[in-house]
Structure 1
Amino acid sequence: MEDKNNIKETLMKKLLERQEEAKVIRKIVGLIILSLIIVIGGTAVGGYLYVKSALKPVDPENTKPVKVEIPIGSGVTSIGNILEENGIVKNATIFKYYVKFNNESGFQAGSYDLTPSMTLSEIVNSLKTGKVMRKAEFKITIPEGLQLDKIAEIIADKSPYKKDEIEKKLNDKKWLGQLKKEYPNLITDEILNEDIKKPLEGYLYPVTYSFYEKKPSLEEILTKMIGQTDEVLAQYKSTMADKEFTAHKLLTMASLIEEEATEKADRGKISSVFYNRIEEGMPLQTDPTVLYALGEHKSRTVYKDLEVDSPYNTYKVAGLPPGPIANAGLSSIEAALQPEDTNYYYFLASSNGSVYYSETLEEHNEKKAKYITNKSE
């Protein structure tokens, strides 16, 4: 009987010890949870206060103008960094999310007169309306799908330089060597291939350029256009690496898409046709490369043209031509990187700009007979 009592007392003692231990554990867990709540709450409050502060002017009392240069092609991230570096916004990341949250766009390049007292709304409106600090002496607009000879004419018409001066500079080997050093990811030995007709064909990006000096150097004018191409392609660096695309190959493919596209054409589908044909070992057979080989600007090609002996003639030579045949806009560059997934191997454009795609030669010829006048001698 005494043993049973001892056992009972021992069990009760252990039970009480476990209850005390459980109380201690619950207290510790409670303290940990409370601490986490305080930390999370404090972080949330701190984050809220930080964001709220970052949305306010850097210094409401400081109305002294700061000259801020927004380069052509700058994205929201780079604009935010420029504004933060110049003390116009408190935080570049907060500026970026403010812009995205409010669905703002249409920022313009230029030299701006901004102050630390401006609100984010005022800053955004200034960048959208393009209130620049000074008026450009002249502007040069380079359209998409142009070849260097036409671009040289435009530059000559708008700048103090003659066409022959511009063309000479575009072929200056010493200057090309300098460009290789300045833009190593863009300008490579590929442009010096002996089959290349014009080293910088396709490298002058199509956009409007503003110049604030009456006579900037010719190198400055051309470098600005080449630098813009470098900036644009830099956005697709990882995609280019995944696809093992050099800048030269990308610009070459994009130029073919640009030259074949019409206003109604889907560049993604045209791109898919080119890739499908390359994969099957079929020649691209794109007329703009023939015209480029001929060095002529014609509305259409005839059968005789297709016989031209040139590495640019994609009726005779498989794969891509040695280099770009014109400059390409952003939509063609993106189509070259991201073609649609189709089974098309043929396409043709009618006189009204509509584009028709086919999977077989028979289907293509039927559409050709229906929509296109046959080539003649």
Structure 2
Amino acid sequence: MKTWKLIVLVAALLVIVILGAVGGRWYADNRKPNFSGKADLYVHPQMAVDEVLAQIPDSIVINHRSLTRVVRKGLSDVDLKPGHYVVERNKPSVYVVRMLRNGWQTPVNLVLSGTMRIKGLIARKIANQMMLDSADVASALNDSSLLSGYGFTPSDVFSLIIPDTYQVYWTASMKDILDKQKAAYDAFWTADNVAKAEAQGLTPKQVSIVASIVKSESNHAPEYSSIAGVYLNRLHQGMRLQADPTVAFCYGYTLNRILLKHLEYDSPYNTYLHEGLPPGPICVPDRSSLEAVLNPDRHGYLYFCASAAMDGTHKFAATYSEHLRNAREFQRALDARRTSGR
């Protein structure tokens, strides 16, 4: 009788130990926080589980055995869904498996800012932040059929892009990104802004064209409204814009300096040869340049040139003779700087 009781007792203890071990392991895998920090995971198509897990720094994994055990049991290469995922601090091991199996992506910030004037470079900027290939991005920016669905063409697609930071999924398609741009474009072009454009005798797309020239003329945003005023004055008086940046655009921005011979380049974008506005923007205008065209300075200036102060600002003139004086003043300052070796 005593032997039987002893056997039962030992068996009961073994069951308790086993259940405790199983329960402890289950708790460690499913409930207990196993990460002391965050980690970004980027899952590309055809990527293996080991390649994904290698992106989790060892320093933030509290229990490596738990993570390895859960992954081996619940995740295989075919289960992985491409995307950007974030391993959150204080999450259990099983969360990683569920996240990757179910495609619980975390959006990324797509930053569209800075100088954007060549489609190939814009494509690279976007592709560097997304799962997209730069060639596919460039193709989309030149796809007449795709762009027509948004009311744009390859010539005026720069108008559609509104520089900002956008939250998108890393796996987003170019159509997804263009959808975001169209929403931002529509949000910018409120009834009030459309009315301001009409007051200047311009359509929203034409505002973008002028704004692209304004942005290309100066890195000094406080001058944008004054520069916009000059070009609007010239437009309203039937003068050619004669904007150097449009010539630079014709040459694919490869010129270090624009010479007189370059002004003869035969292109509808060359505002020295053709009256009115070019067919489309010569770069992606930012919000400040768009606002400058919608709210230009009211003045009588028709000309401007770089200031002799060499500080990135410009001097404005109402007459050509005054403009020539300003230009000579700048040239003297430039010659003096070259002579001094500065």
| TM class, shorter-length | 0.5 to 0.7
Structure 1 position 216 matched with structure 2 position 161:
no
8 Å contact 1:170–1:199 — kept in the other structure? no
Q: How far is the alpha carbon of 1:243 from its aligned partner? A: 4.0
Taking the aligned partners of 1:265 and 1:198, their CA distance within structure 2 comes to 28
Equivalent residues, number = 226
Q: How far is the alpha carbon of 1:177 from its aligned partner? A: 2.7
* Counterpart position of 1:367: 326
Q: How far is the alpha carbon of 1:245 from its aligned partner? A: 2.6
Q: Say which is worse superposed, 218-227 or 292-301, in terms of deviation.
A: 292-301
Residue type of the partner of 1:171? N
Residue type of the partner of 1:142? L
Matches within 5 A, 1:290-369: 290-350=247-307, 351-369=310-328
State the identity %. 29
Q: How far is the alpha carbon of 1:347 from its aligned partner? A: 0.5
8 Å contact 1:239–1:337 — kept in the other structure? yes
Structure 1 position 140 matched with structure 2 position 107:
no
Residue type of the partner of 1:227? A
Describe the superposition over 1:48-86 as per-residue Cα deviations: whole angstroms up to 9, x where unpaired.
xxxxxxxxxxxxxxxxxxxxxxxxxxxxxxxxxxxxxxx
8 Å contact 2:162–2:287 — kept in the other structure? no
8 Å contact 1:267–1:335 — kept in the other structure? yes
* Counterpart position of 2:212: 255
8 Å contact 2:194–2:203 — kept in the other structure? no
Taking the aligned partners of 1:300 and 1:207, their CA distance within structure 2 comes to 31
Residue type of the partner of 1:177? S
Residue type of the partner of 2:326? K
Residue type of the partner of 1:216? A
Taking the aligned partners of 1:292 and 1:233, their CA distance within structure 2 comes to 26
Residue type of the partner of 1:303? L
Q: How far is the alpha carbon of 1:152 from its aligned partner? A: 1.2
Q: How far is the alpha carbon of 1:302 from its aligned partner? A: 1.9
Equivalent residue for 2:141, pick from 158, 164, 170: 170
SS state of the match for residue 189, structure 2? helix
* Counterpart position of 2:51: none
* Counterpart position of 2:44: none
Taking the aligned partners of 2:239 and 2:202, their CA distance within structure 1 comes to 20
Taking the aligned partners of 2:226 and 2:188, their CA distance within structure 1 comes to 22
SS state of the match for residue 301, structure 2? coil
Equivalent residue for 1:276, pick from 219, 224, 233: 233
Taking the aligned partners of 2:242 and 2:207, their CA distance within structure 1 comes to 18
Q: How far is the alpha carbon of 1:201 from its aligned partner? A: 2.3
Gaps of 5+ in 2: 1-103, 336-342
Taking the aligned partners of 2:298 and 2:322, their CA distance within structure 1 comes to 19
Q: How far is the alpha carbon of 1:238 from its aligned partner? A: 2.8
RMSD: 2.3
Taking the aligned partners of 2:289 and 2:221, their CA distance within structure 1 comes to 13
Residue type of the partner of 2:150? L
Residues 140 and 349 (structure 1), Cα distance of their counterparts in 2 relative to 1, 3 Å cut: farther
SS state of the match for residue 137, structure 2? helix
Give runs of ≥4 in structure 1 deviating > 6 Å.
none
Equivalent residue for 1:156, pick from 120, 127, 131: 127
Describe the superposition over 1:123-155 as per-residue Cα deviations: whole angstroms up to 9, x where unpaired.
xxxxxxxxxxx9954222112441233221100
Q: How far is the alpha carbon of 1:244 from its aligned partner? A: 4.2
Taking the aligned partners of 2:287 and 2:156, their CA distance within structure 1 comes to 21
Q: How far is the alpha carbon of 1:159 from its aligned partner? A: 0.9
SS state of the match for residue 253, structure 2? coil
SS state of the match for residue 222, structure 1? helix
Q: How far is the alpha carbon of 1:293 from its aligned partner? A: 1.4
SS state of the match for residue 315, structure 2? strand
Residues 231 and 152 (structure 1), Cα distance of their counterparts in 2 relative to 1, 3 Å cut: same
Residue type of the partner of 1:170? L
8 Å contact 2:132–2:173 — kept in the other structure? no
Residue type of the partner of 1:209? Y
Taking the aligned partners of 2:202 and 2:251, their CA distance within structure 1 comes to 28
Taking the aligned partners of 2:143 and 2:204, their CA distance within structure 1 comes to 21
- TM-score in terms of structure 1 length: 0.55
SS state of the match for residue 304, structure 2? strand
Residues 304 and 236 (structure 1), Cα distance of their counterparts in 2 relative to 1, 3 Å cut: same
Residues 177 and 354 (structure 1), Cα distance of their counterparts in 2 relative to 1, 3 Å cut: closer
Gaps of 5+ in 1: 1-133, 181-186, 192-196
Taking the aligned partners of 2:224 and 2:148, their CA distance within structure 1 comes to 34
Structure 1 position 228 matched with structure 2 position 198:
no
8 Å contact 1:345–1:360 — kept in the other structure? yes
Taking the aligned partners of 2:185 and 2:159, their CA distance within structure 1 comes to 9
Q: How far is the alpha carbon of 1:265 from its aligned partner? A: 4.6
- TM-score in terms of structure 2 length: 0.61
